[in-house]
Amino acid sequence: MTETDKARRTRRTAATRAVAAAGVVVTGMVLGNGVAAAGVDNASSIVDAKGDTIEVIQGDTRIDAVAPLDSSPLSREFFHSGYAEARITGPAAADAVGSKLTFGYQVGYPAAVTGGSIQINTPALGFEGENTSGALIGVIPDESLLLDTENRTELLGDIIPQQNFIVDLQPGGITDVPLVKEKAFDGPAARIRIGGVHGAVSGAVGQTTLRPYARLETADGDIVMTYGAPFRL
């Protein structure tokens, strides 16, 4: 093989590798668009006057936008799964009572027509608490109650029933939509897990953006919030 042939072969090999690498980058961008990674997605915490750390977390977040069934340019539809978790750690954490956990959305849009609304449909939601032994327990939608007597677990919250509610859109700006509002619990931790929640926005003009949030308020009035990444519908 001549030196010229070797040079041409080297250039062809380099070009092939460059194209393959570009293909990998593009594939990664497409597969990663619009879906948050599994596990903890965002969290925020404060330290209260007792020296306890008050933390609220969102995790396993997945929001999928789908084509609206009514085919209207003013409609948006989505499905949401994930969890919101409250954790209190420190010297007085085991004795905490009367805490409240909220899980919801902020929905933003440039303007809304008269009668615009957001409709949310949820299955029965799981609510988990934690006893002093540190073992998480809970209720899983459509399955039996899970109790572990060896770890001395007990149910600390009620099953959150199926919900179907409508919130009117504000004329423009941001509308707050609490999916679960001020769910009370005692103890150092609690979690609300959702799966297959269906949301429909009607009457929104322009780009619509959804941002999930979680809010923890203690009996002493300490408040901490965490916000998920904005998701365009």
For the chain, give the percent of residues with pLDDT over 90: 53
Count Cβ neighbours within 10 Å for each residue of 160-171 and write b for 16 or more, e otherwise: beeeeeebebee
CA dihedral 124, 126, 129, 135 (to 10 degrees): 150
pLDDT at position 131 is: 52
For the chain, give the percent of residues with pLDDT over 70: 67
CA–CA dist 150, 126 (Å, integer): 22
**Residue 57 corresponds to which tokens in the numbers above?**
């977390």
The angle at the Cα of 80, spanning 78 to 83, to the nearest 5 degrees, equals: 165
Q: Label the pairing between strands 189-205 and 209-217.
A: unpaired
pLDDT at position 165 is: 82
Nearest to 228 by CA among 215, 211, 216: 211
Give per-residue pLDDT as tens, 31-74. 222 333 348 999 999 999 999 999 999 999 999 999 999 999 99
* Position 154 pLDDT exceeds 60: no
CA 89 to mean position of chain CA atoms: 22
Average pLDDT over the chain, rounded to an integer: 75
The confidence band for 16, taking pLDDT boundaries of 50, 70 and 90, is very low
The confidence band for 209, taking pLDDT boundaries of 50, 70 and 90, is very high
* Position 158 pLDDT exceeds 80: no
pLDDT at position 126 is: 65
Give per-residue pLDDT as tens, 173-195. 899 998 888 998 899 999 888 88
Neighbours of 151 (CB within 10 A): 13
